[in-house]
């Protein structure tokens, strides 16, 4: 096997499993399932040169189909199963690009299917032809991923299976994953984080895997008791939930958090209750760029992301607008991160499958991350936030994350998101959206008044908005566009400062 | 016996939890999560804290299970038992 490194786990004596709580497949049965999928593909005349779209969620059968496609060098697009519409409770199938000839969908097992699954594969593995299919020649062994689109229109990213595997092995090494581990994956496996950093590395070492979809605190704790996990891949938001909701400590060997900034106090509280936490920094295009290691001291894991992965080079392009600012304590070493990754992507394609030549964010194998960060003297990477999450005011750069961090230190503030909106006398208008802790009586005016003591004048938000909660995207990240639209109507009244 | 607890739960959810529900809209027989009241993890964590404060109880990790929280009737029964025998723990 190409992706499963340690093939001894496939032998019939071995006990390691892949489970989703409903259906459990021992590694020893994987090759048998492959035979079945192969015969189904032959029956449907799906050729190795055809491109298929796999609608995926965190279920065992999806993982088996995914692994089958990878092991056999198929060209395929991995995408989410579609959004549930609130009205009908029905899932709307995602639209697929014209270069995919077939659509594969694994139906969820109902309760009657509990414990079985393999016997009913023909009923739950649905293959349909794409009526809009237009052939587009391309090499075999390609995986297409869609970017999450949290900052705009989703792009289609091209990865070779070989580099994807290299990326996975980087993660195995950095996290020290082994065959003994029991890994919980509650993050979606159709995104690079869940796929490239969590699922494929776990498969590579033959670790037991617990897949969770749409998890919540209670379900997570229940599954944790049953599965006895010792490694977890989570989002910072879920770290927060676990740190708050868990009653007594239960130490994991390792938890990996990626996808967003993690607050320092969340980090410490999580670590006290659940054990070693490391950050991972990456993207759909590059896979895992840098990550912490469980071998590092907590202070280092808390402050920085960690060392770049093997062979990865980072360039910090000093942004012309960055000015040294003693009050906010950022240095001139900070700038936009560019990344060269030997296991990075091949490029972008359009919806016809044709390569997009000379993309401005991908030049001579250097990828523009659009993130602000800096390299520490010891080579470790610190990531501050998105570049586009900063504005110029009074001729000085104000990264939103710096303002957020300052306001978050106030008692009574649970979390803060800063966005640019409208204009103010200092330049772009700044709005701080705040969620308060319970039993706080701070008003919007009071918060803004306190800002005068903790921020330089040009970085004080023009407006403070108190919300009960932030609107979220399906992937758990904050829906910034919705956030802005919530206050856009009265954005004209901003100019106070 | 736990009918009054059900009513108290509805009031807590309607007035203190950020889920935009009115007490009279809440059906004590539907699930708390998707397909029912639609609570997410953040609302769940908040609800647990509110219940502990309001009823003077403390959940153990093992009691934080989907079964205990399957609907408000079940939850009310659980709280009722817990309040009457503070030492009870589900393992």
Q: Examine the domain organization and report whether A276 and A323 are in the same domain.
A: yes
Q: Examine the domain organization and report whether A137 and A197 are in the same domain.
A: yes
> What pLDDT does B37 receive?
87
The DSSP bridge partners found for residue A25 are: A18
Domain that holds residue A90: 7-385
In a domain, A41, yes or no: yes
For B29-40, the pLDDT digits (tens) are 999 987 788 888
Superfamily of domain B3-84: ACP-like (1.10.1200.10)
Chain B residue with CA closest to A249: the answer is B61
Provide the Cα torsion B62, A224, A238, B23; round to 10°.
-40
Could you tell me the pLDDT band of residue B20, with boundaries at 50, 70 and 90? confident
> What pLDDT does A6 receive?
77
Cross-chain residue pair B65–A214, CB shorter than 8 Å: no
At which of A385, A400, A418 does a domain end?
A385
In chain A, how many domains are there? 2
ipTM over the 0.85 cut-off = no
Q: Examine the domain organization and report whether A360 and A216 are in the same domain.
A: yes
Q: Examine the domain organization and report whether A441 and A297 are in the same domain.
A: no
Q: Examine the domain organization and report whether A146 and A268 are in the same domain.
A: yes
Q: Residue A138: give its domain's CATH number.
A: 3.40.50.12780
- Per residue of chain A (497 residues), what is the pLDDT tens digit? 888 887 888 887 788 999 999 889 999 999 999 999 999 999 999 999 999 999 999 999 999 999 999 999 999 999 988 765 445 555 677 889 999 999 999 887 654 444 455 667 777 888 999 999 998 888 889 999 988 665 567 789 999 999 999 999 999 999 999 999 999 999 999 999 999 999 999 999 999 999 998 888 999 999 999 999 999 999 988 998 999 999 999 999 999 999 777 888 889 999 999 999 999 999 999 999 999 999 999 999 998 999 999 999 999 987 644 444 444 444 457 788 999 999 999 999 998 999 988 788 888 889 999 898 889 999 999 988 778 788 878 777 788 888 998 899 888 998 899 998 888 878 888 999 999 988 788 999 999 999 988 888 889 999 999 998 888 877 677 888 888 888 775 544 443 33
Chain B residues within 8 A of A91 when measuring between CB atoms: none
- Touching check for B60 and chain A: CB below 8 Å? yes
In a domain, A1, yes or no: no
Among A356, A363, A321, A320, which residue's Cα sits nearest to residue A338? Answer: A363
Is A170 within 8 Å of A309 (Cβ atoms)? yes
Cross-chain residue pair B49–A225, CB shorter than 8 Å: no
Q: Examine the domain organization and report whether A86 and A121 are in the same domain.
A: yes
- Touching check for B57 and chain A: CB below 8 Å? no
Cross-chain residue pair B44–A250, CB shorter than 8 Å: no
At which of A326, A352, A385 does a domain end?
A385
At which of A327, A350, A385 does a domain end?
A385
> What pLDDT does A118 receive?
65
Q: Examine the domain organization and report whether A376 and A416 are in the same domain.
A: no
The residue behind tokens 């990213």 is A157
Q: Examine the domain organization and report whether A72 and A95 are in the same domain.
A: yes
Mean pLDDT, range B23-34, rounded to an integer = 89
Could you tell me the pLDDT band of residue B2, with boundaries at 50, 70 and 90? low
Q: Examine the domain organization and report whether A84 and A195 are in the same domain.
A: yes
For A366-407, the pLDDT digits (tens) are 999 989 888 999 999 998 877 878 887 877 778 888 899 889
In a domain, A2, yes or no: no
Q: Which residues contact A74 (CB under 8 A, 6 or more apart)?
A: A48, A50, A51, A52, A68, A140, A141
| Interface residue of B18, B32, B45, B71 to substitute, partner A, most A CBs within 10 Å | B45
For B30-83, the pLDDT digits (tens) are 999 877 888 888 788 989 999 999 999 999 999 999 999 999 999 999 999 998
Whole-structure pTM value: 0.83
Q: Examine the domain organization and report whether A315 and A344 are in the same domain.
A: yes
Nearest 5°: the CA angle A443, A447, A448 is: 115
Q: Residue A408: give its domain's CATH number.
A: 3.30.300.30
- Indicate the residue of B35, B41, B58 with minimum beta-carbon distance to A217: B41
Chain B residue with CA closest to A226: the answer is B62
Q: Examine the domain organization and report whether A348 and A439 are in the same domain.
A: no
């Amino acid at each position: 096997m190409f992706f499963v490194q340690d093939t001894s786990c496939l032998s019939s004596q071995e006990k390691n499993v892949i489970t989703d709580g409903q259906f459990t497949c021992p590694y020893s049965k994987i090759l048998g399932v492959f035979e079945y999928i192969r015969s189904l593909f032959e029956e449907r005349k799906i050729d190795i040169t055809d491109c298929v779209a796999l609608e995926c969620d965190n279920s065992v059968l999806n993982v088996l189909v995914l692994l089958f496609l990878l092991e056999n060098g198929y060209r395929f697009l991995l995408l989410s199963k579609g959004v549930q519409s609130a009205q009908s409770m029905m899932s709307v199938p995602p639209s697929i690009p014209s270069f995919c000839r077939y659509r594969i969908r694994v139906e969820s097992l109902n309760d009657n299917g509990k414990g079985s699954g393999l016997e009913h594969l023909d009923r739950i593995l649905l293959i349909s032809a794409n009526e809009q299919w237009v052939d587009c020649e391309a090499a075999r062994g390609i995986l297409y991923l869609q970017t999450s689109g949290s900052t705009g229109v989703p792009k289609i990213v091209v990865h070779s299976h070989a580099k994807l595997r290299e990326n996975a092995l980087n993660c195995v090494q950095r996290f020290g994953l082994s065959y003994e581990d029991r890994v919980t994956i509650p993050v979606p496996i159709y995104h690079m984080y869940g796929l490239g950093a969590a699922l494929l590395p776990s498969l590579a070492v033959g670790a037991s895997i617990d897949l969770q979809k749409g998890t919540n605190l209670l379900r997570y704790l229940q599954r944790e008791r049953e599965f006895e996990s010792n490694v977890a891949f989570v989002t910072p938001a879920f770290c927060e939930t676990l740190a708050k909701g868990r009653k007594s400590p239960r130490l994991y060997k390792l938890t990996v958090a990626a996808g967003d900034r993690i607050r320092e106090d969340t980090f410490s509280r999580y670590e006290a209750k659940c054990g070693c936490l490391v950050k991972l920094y990456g993207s759909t295009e590059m896979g895992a760029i840098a990550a912490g290691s469980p071998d590092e001291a907590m202070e280092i894991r808390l402050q920085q992301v960690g060392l770049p992965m093997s062979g990865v080079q980072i360039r910090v392009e000093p942004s012309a607008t960055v000015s040294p600012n003693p009050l906010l304590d950022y240095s001139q070493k900070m700038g936009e991160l560019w990344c060269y990754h030997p296991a990075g992507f091949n490029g972008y394609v359009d919806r016809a499958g044709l390569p997009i030549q000379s993309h401005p964010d991908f030049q001579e194998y250097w990828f523009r991350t659009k993130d602000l960060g800096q390299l520490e003297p010891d080579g470790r990477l610190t990531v501050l936030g998105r570049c586009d999450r900063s504005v110029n005011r009074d001729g000085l750069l104000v990264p939103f994350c710096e303002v957020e961090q300052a306001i978050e230190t106030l008692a009574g503030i649970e979390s803060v998101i800063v966005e640019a909106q409208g204009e103010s006398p200092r330049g772009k208008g700044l709005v701080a959206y705040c969620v308060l802790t319970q039993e706080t009586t701070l008003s919007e005016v009071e918060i803004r008044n306190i800002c005068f003591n903790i921020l330089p004048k040009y970085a004080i938000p023009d407006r403070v908005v108190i919300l009960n909660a932030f609107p979220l995207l399906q992937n758990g990240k904050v829906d910034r566009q919705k956030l802005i639209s919530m206050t856009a109507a009265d954005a004209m009244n901003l100019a106070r400062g | 016996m736990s009918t009054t607890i059900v009513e108290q739960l509805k009031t807590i959810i309607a007035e203190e939890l950020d889920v935009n529900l009115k007490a009279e809209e809440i059906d004590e027989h539907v699930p708390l999560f998707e397909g029912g009241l639609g609570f997410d993890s953040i609302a769940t964590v908040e609800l647990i804290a509110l219940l502990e404060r309001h009823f003077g109880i403390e959940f153990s990790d093992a009691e934080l299970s989907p079964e205990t929280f399957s609907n408000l009737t079940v939850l009310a029964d659980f709280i009722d038992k817990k309040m009457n025998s503070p030492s009870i723990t589900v393992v």
